[in-house]
């Protein structure tokens, strides 16, 4: 399984509703250089008013058009804070009214002007397009005079802080990593399978990053150190030992008595399963986690090769031979692997189930259903593709398959059984 940081920044920027704005005095010059800062205060925005229906629809349409999320104008809410002298609008659009508080910086010469309103982001609507205020200023959509007008409209106060120049790319990189951390830790259900050490490492690195950004004396070296720490923490997610033990127990359910799985694949799976078992004796989270991911990868490699519903003998076609083999399984004269059971299901792998531990029960009805399928198969029809197990990917971009992993989002009927087996194996000194 690949443990990689997924690029979530675009999503964060589009759904976040921050309202940290900035503006300049008459003497300042626009620049693309970023600076560190500290010492800003929270300002309460004036009450939002109602925007006329025509402009409100235009703002909503622009928000939908500029978003990478699947939404309609009905999903968008708009707060209105008045219009500027040139006719541009100050609005705070949001997706279902969600309000968060990440930090944005306005860069102005050797000073930084930051207003943290601790609310939704006030944006500029100009020429049927939405702009973040600092983006509108840097791209010359608005000038110093209009920035001052914005300050007056929003009742903002300026808190200039002398700062030391920092490489823009370093600030961008650190902010990207902090956004990834924010998304991960604001998502419900992400903590169940991961170790406490993982979260301690991530939290400490994030706190360091916050301190560096807030330190007006921070150097490029400080930024490099914070980036290295947070990047390492986010890229070294470790599975909780208890969860790995549950996975080991579930992995024992996969058998190959009939030799359905290829010999090399099955031997590799058994080897990785034994390696996970032995890793528990080290009590080292990295060793255990690595063994867990290697077993998961081996399981996926072994089971993902069989995808044609009904093809229980893996000869690439669905015919009477498959019917005969399923009849033998139903009459208990042959055994099936877990994959074969899925392939034999009369729903042809299309069934939906809420319980992660669901296993189809193969009966004569499945035999009859497959016979009917064979009767109508011709060169223009194909069998559905089966994916063994229910596969989910969490906000860490880590994949979990219900056949070898307990569910942590939804109810899983196997919890008691699996945990009892874990305790039994622990008592026997096996894990």
pLDDT of residue 158: 46
Q: Given a cut of 60, is residue 192 above it in pLDDT?
A: yes
User: Quick one: what percent of the chain has pLDDT higher than 90?
Assistant: 34
> Which range, of 254-268, 306-320, 399-413, averages the lowest pLDDT?
399-413
Give the integer Cα–Cα distance in Å for 361 and 363. 6
pLDDT range class, residue 180, cuts 50, 70, 90: confident
Express each pLDDT in 213-252 by its tens digit: 878 778 889 999 999 999 999 999 899 999 999 999 999 9
Say if residues 300 and 307 touch (Cβ distance below 8 Å).
no
Question: What's the pTM value of the predicted model, to 2 decimals?
Answer: 0.60
User: Quick one: what percent of the chain has pLDDT higher than 70?
Assistant: 72
Give the integer Cα–Cα distance in Å for 95 and 80. 15
**384: its two tokens:** 């559905």
Nearest to 78 by CA among 43, 44, 47, 49: 49
pLDDT of residue 346: 65
pLDDT of residue 359: 73
Q: Given a cut of 70, is residue 258 above it in pLDDT?
A: yes
CA dist list (Å): 388 to 354, 403, 410, 413 = 15, 8, 19, 18
pLDDT range class, residue 424, cuts 50, 70, 90: very high
């Amino acid at each position: 399984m690949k443990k990689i940081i997924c690029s979530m920044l675009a999503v964060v920027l589009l759904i976040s509703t921050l309202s940290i704005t900035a503006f300049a005095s008459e003497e300042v010059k626009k620049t693309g250089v970023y600076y560190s800062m500290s010492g800003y205060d929270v300002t309460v925005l004036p009450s939002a008013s109602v925007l006329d229906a025509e402009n409100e629809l235009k703002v909503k349409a622009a928000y939908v058009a500029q978003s990478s999320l699947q939404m309609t104008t009905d999903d968008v809410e708009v707060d209105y804070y008045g219009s500027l002298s040139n006719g541009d609008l100050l609005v705070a659009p949001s997706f279902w009214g969600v309000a968060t508080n990440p930090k944005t910086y306005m860069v102005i010469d050797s000073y930084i002007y930051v207003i943290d309103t601790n609310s939704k982001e006030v944006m500029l609507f100009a020429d049927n397009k939405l702009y973040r205020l600092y983006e509108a200023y840097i791209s010359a959509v608005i000038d110093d005079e209009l920035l001052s007008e914005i300050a007056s409209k929003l009742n903002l106060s300026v808190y200039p802080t002398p700062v030391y120049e920092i490489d823009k790319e370093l600030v961008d990189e650190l902010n990207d990593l902090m956004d990834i951390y924010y998304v991960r830790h604001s998502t419900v259900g992400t903590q169940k399978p991961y170790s406490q050490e993982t979260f301690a490492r991530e939290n400490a690195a994030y706190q360091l990053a916050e301190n560096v950004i807030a330190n007006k004396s921070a150097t490029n070296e400080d930024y490099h150190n914070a980036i290295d720490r947070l990047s390492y923490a986010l890229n070294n997610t470790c599975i909780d030992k208890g969860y790995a033990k549950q996975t080991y127990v579930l992995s024992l359910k996969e058998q190959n008595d009939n030799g359905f799985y290829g010999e090399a694949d099955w031997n590799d799976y058994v080897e990785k399963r034994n390696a996970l078992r032995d890793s528990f004796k080290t009590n080292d989270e990295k060793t255990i986690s690595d063994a867990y991911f290697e077993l998961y990868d081996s399981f996926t490699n072994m089971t993902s090769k069989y995808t044609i519903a009904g093809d229980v003998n893996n000869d690439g076609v669905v015919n009477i031979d498959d019917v005969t083999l399923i009849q033998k399984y139903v009459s208990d004269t042959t055994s099936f692997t877990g994959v074969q059971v899925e392939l034999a299901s009369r729903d042809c792998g299309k069934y939906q189930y809420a319980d992660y531990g669901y296993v189809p029960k193969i009966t004569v009805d499945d035999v009859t259903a497959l016979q009917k399928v064979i009767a109508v198969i011709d060169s223009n029809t194909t069998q559905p593709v089966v994916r063994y197990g229910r596969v989910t990917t969490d906000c860490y971009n880590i994949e979990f398959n219900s056949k070898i992993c307990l569910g942590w989002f939804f109810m899983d009927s196997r919890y008691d059984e699996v945990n009892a087996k874990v305790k039994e194996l622990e008592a026997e000194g096996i894990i």
